[in-house]
Amino acid sequence: MSWLSPQLAPIILLVLSNAFMTMAWYGHLKYKAAPLLLAIIFSWLIALFEYCLAVPANRIGSAVYTTAQLKTMQEVITLIVFALFSTLYLGEKLTPNHGIGFSLIACGAWFIFRK
């Protein structure tokens, strides 16, 4: 990904990796009748792709971000991806309490990136 800046590449890779991991962790909830072992196997296969994106994201990102910043970035991206996934794929509703909780986490992220 040398054509992407080291500032942007980790963000894009983390968004993609979180999409895969969210599907691995929660996608099977739409198919609760499927055997648990099958859900585990498919989740592991999906998670393999997540690792293929997350590891380079952190390797590339470590050139310009601290590990605390990378982890914070990953957590915020996870919440955004999860919110979209749970509403669009699982059909769940986000409540004002979810918004407040996510906002408090975003405030914490602001402190991590503050100079």
Residue 1 lies in a domain: no
16-70 pLDDT, tens per residue? 999 999 999 999 999 999 999 999 999 999 999 999 999 999 999 999 999 999 9
Q: How many domains does the structure of the chain reveal?
A: 1
The Cα 87–Cα 102 span in angstroms is 15
pTM of the predicted model as reported, rounded to 2 decimal places: 0.84
Contact 53/22 with Cβ under 8 angstroms?
Answer: no
Range of the domain at 37: 9-113
Segment (H or E) for 102: helix 96-113
- Look at residue 4 and tell me if it is in a domain: no
Is 106 part of any domain? yes
Q: Of 109 and 8, which is predicted with more confidence?
A: 8
CA distance 58 to 14: 8
Query: How buried is 69 (Cβ within 10 angstroms: 0-12 exposed, 13-18 middle, 19+ buried)?
Result: middle
